[in-house]
Amino acid sequence: MCRTHDTTAVIRNGVAVITCEQCGTVAFRNRDSFGGIAALFADYSLVGRVEAIGAPAGEVMAFRPANPSDRSTMGAIPPHRWFRANQHLWVCHDGSVLLLAHRFPLVSRMLGS
């Protein structure tokens, strides 16, 4: 995680999320990046793939919360910007749709896309 800038730490769904807006990074306490994102957004449903225009990776998957009125989990990560969880995984949202950009075709197959 960033040791240079001020970071923001929040807890959502029992997951400690740390973001640095200056570096554009997100990390999870006591979890790796895939495990942190999986735990944080476990109740989200896959909507499908979207075009990767402007995305940091070639494949982008869109998710929505199971309960459309409950978007509080997305508040753990600032909106309208890609945050790097690791060298292969990024997350972004607009307050209603969560986007995951990745470089692993296996991720899409595992999630049913």
111 pLDDT higher than 70: no
In a domain, 25, yes or no: yes
Amino acid at 74: M
Residue 70 belongs to some domain of the structure? yes
Nearest to 37 by CA among 112, 81, 88: 88
CA distance 61 to 5: 30
pLDDT tens, 82-101? 999 999 899 999 999 999 99
Indicate whether 2 belongs to any domain.
no
Is position 1 within any domain? Answer: no
**pTM, 2 dp:** 0.87
In a domain, 77, yes or no: yes
Per the structure, the count of domains in the chain is 1
Please answer whether residues 90 and 60 qualify as being in contact, where contact means their C-beta atoms are separated by less than 8 angstroms.
Answer: no
Domain range for 27: 8-111
pLDDT in tens, 33-54: 888 998 889 889 999 989 988 9
Residue 3 forms part of a structural domain: no
Residue 18 placed within a domain: yes
